[in-house]
Amino acid sequence: MALVLNVSLCSTSKPKPHLHLSNSKATPPPLGLNTKQSRQASQKLTFSLAGSVSSATFVALLSASFIFVDPALAFRGGGPYGQEVTRGQDLSGKDFSGKTLIKQDFKTSILRQANFKGAKLLGASFFDADLTGADLSDADLRSADFSLANVTKANLSNANLEGALATGNTSFKGSNITGADFTDVPLRDDQREYLCKVADGVNPTTGNATRDTLLCN
């Protein structure tokens, strides 16, 4: 009876979980690679990832530099010529004589007594600029924009203003226009009348008489 009871107890008892302890080992290298080769492959992958991250970071920073560029630099040069910021600046008395400043942007700048003698200013913009007392003698001002500009007491002698714009409240009062060429310049009647009173000379470049270009009677 004792033997039967012992067998019964043994057969009804739940087996205890079997724990197997062993030292963890590194995952074996892929088939065909020894440990040294596996380590080298891992290092190459690490460097490759690091390089990719560095490249991505550089591109992001470069993109940000274009997006958040200093607004003042947007006007750097103001045109295909010149390397200075010339729009909306106080450039009183500055010397631009003899310079090539084609399509340069001088919008809303203060250019009192600035020197543009003999400068090439084709298509330059002086929109709403203050050119009081500026020297524009012998300058090439063809197609330049003087709309709303203050060109009083300026020296425009022998300047070529063919096709220039002078709309709005542009004023040439007190300016020297001897030998200046105003061919195809749209002037207000009061400005044309005033300039015809002081017009004189012949432009040395075009050969046109100043009075004729102003359509004076």
Longest CA span, the chain: 149
Beta carbons of 142 and 163 less than 8 angstroms apart: yes
As a dihedral over the C-alpha atoms of residue 44, residue 46, residue 51, residue 53, rounded to 10 degrees, the angle is: 160
Instruction: Count the Cβ atoms, other than its own, within 10 Å of residue 122.
Output: 20
- DSSP annotation string for 149-187: -B-TT-B-TT-B-TT-B--SS-B-TT-B-TT-B-TT---
More confident residue, 85 or 28: 85
The pTM of this model reads: 0.64
* Predicted pLDDT at 69: 36
Q: What is the pLDDT of residues 185-198, one digit of tens each?
A: 999 999 999 999 99
Q: What is the pLDDT of residues 125-163, one digit of tens each?
A: 999 999 999 999 999 999 999 999 999 999 999 999 999
* Predicted pLDDT at 145: 97
